[in-house]
A and B are shown apart, each in its own frame.
Chain A
Amino acid sequence: MSLTLNVNGADHTVEAEPETPLLYVLRGDLQLNGAKFGCGLGQCGACTVTVDGKAAYSCLLPVAAAQGRKIVTVEGLGTASAPGAIQKAFETEQAAQCGYCIAGMIMRAKALLDARPTPTEAEIRAGLQPNLCRCGTHMRILRAVRRAAGLPVEPPTAGGRADA
Chain B
Amino acid sequence: MILAAHQDLSRRGLLQAGALVVAFSLAPRAFAQEGGAAQKPVAPGLPGSLKTTPFLDAWIRVDATGQITVFTGKAELGQGIRTALIQVAAEELDVPPASLRLVTADTGRTPNEGVTAGSHSLQDSGTAILNAAANVRQLLVQAAAEQWRLAPDSLATTGDGRLKAPNGRTAGYGPLAAGLALHVEARADLPRRGGARRALGMDLPRVDIPGKLTGGAAYVQDLRLPGMLHARVVRGPSDGTALDALDLAAVQAMPGVVQVVRNGAFAAVVAEREWTAIQALQRLQRATWRRAAPAIPVADLHAAITASASQDEVIFEGKSASPPAARTVRARYTRPYVMHGSIGPSCAVAQFQDGLMTVWTHSQGVYPLRKALAELLRLPPDKVRCIHAEGAGCYGHNGADDAAADAALAAMAIPGRPVRLQWMREQEHGWEPLGAAMVVEAQASLDAAGRIADWRYDVWSPSHNGRPAGAGGLLAGLEVEPAFPPQVPRPIPMPEGGGDRNGVPIYQVPSGRVTSHFIASSPVRVSALRSLGGYFNVFSIESLMDELARAGGLDPVAFRLAHLADPRAGDVVKLCAQKFGWDTRPRGDGRRGCGFAFARYKNLASYCAVALEVEVEHETGAIAVRRVVSAVDAGEAVNPDGVRNQIEGAIVQSLSWTGIEAVAFDAAHRTSFDWSAYPIARFRDVPGSVQVHVLDRPGQPFLGAGEAGQGPAGAALANALADATGLRMRDLPLSPDRVKAALGV
Contacts and interface: CB of A to CB of B under 8 A. Distances in A.
A/B touching: CB–CB < 8 A: yes
Interface string B587-624: 00000000000000000000000000101000000101
Contacts of B613: 159
Interface residues on B, range: 35 or more
Interface string B612-655: 01010000001011110000000000000100011011111100
A121 to B, nearest CB: 9
Contact of A83 (B214, B676, B684): B214
Given A41-B675, A139-B689, A160-B625, A102 B212 contact: yes
B205 A94 contact: yes
Given A87-B214, A129-B682, A136 B689 contact: no
B452 to A, nearest CB: 33
Contact of B209 (A21, A37, A91, A155): A91
21 contacts: A20-B273, A31-B224, A32-B215, A38-B345, A38-B392, A38-B425, A39-B675, A83-B214, A87-B213, A96-B78, A98-B390, A100-B219, A100-B392, A101-B343, A103-B212, A133-B343, A134-B392, A135-B653, A156-B688, A159-B627, A160-B687
Interface string B639-675: 0010001101111110010000000000000000011
Interface of A: 16-17, 20-21, 24, 27-28, 31-34, 36-41, 43-44, 46, 73-75, 77-80, 83, 87, 90-91, 94, 96-103, 106, 124-126, 128-129, 131-140, 142, 154-156, 158-162, 164
A96 B273 CA distance: 31
A48 to B, nearest CB: 12
Contact of A37 (B422, B622, B676, B688): B422
Contacts of A28: 230, 273-274
Contacts of B649: 97, 135-137
Nearest to B209: A96
Contacts of B615: 160
A36 B206 contact: no
Contact of A46 (B212, B343, B624, B689): B343
Contact of B214 (A75, A133, A161): A75
Given A16-B273, A164-B688, 16 more contacts: A21-B275, A32-B215, A37-B345, A41-B675, A96-B78, A97-B393, A99-B208, A100-B219, A103-B212, A125-B684, A126-B683, A132-B343, A133-B343, A134-B393, A139-B652, A155-B689
Contacts of A160: 615, 624-626, 687-688
Contacts of A73: 215
Identify whether the interface residues of B are mostly helix, strand, loop, or mixed: loop
A99 B344 contact: no
Nearest to B222: A33
Contact of A24 (B221, B273, B652, B680): B273
Contacts of B676: 41, 43
B211 interface: yes
A75 B218 CA distance: 14
Which of A91, A96, A97, A155 has the largest number of chain B CB atoms within 10 A? A97
Given A97-B79, A129-B684, A132-B682, A44 B213 contact: no
Contact of A43 (B215, B393, B675): B675
B254 to A, nearest CB: 11
B675 A136 contact: no
Contact of A134 (B205, B274, B680, B687): B680
Given A33-B218, A87-B214, A20 B275 contact: yes
B80 interface: yes
Contact of A140 (B219, B393, B625, B648): B648
Contacts of A106: 213
Interface string B680-702: 11111011111000000000000
Interface string B444-481: 00000000000000000000000000000000000000
A91 B210 contact: yes
A39 B213 contact: no
Nearest to A43: B675
B683 A38 contact: no
Nearest to B639: A94
B215 A44 contact: no
B688 A98 contact: no
B213 A102 contact: yes
B178 interface: no
Given A31-B224, A46-B343, A96-B206, A78 B214 contact: yes
Contacts of B680: 132, 134
A93 B688 CA distance: 17
B48 interface: no
B653 to A, nearest CB: 4
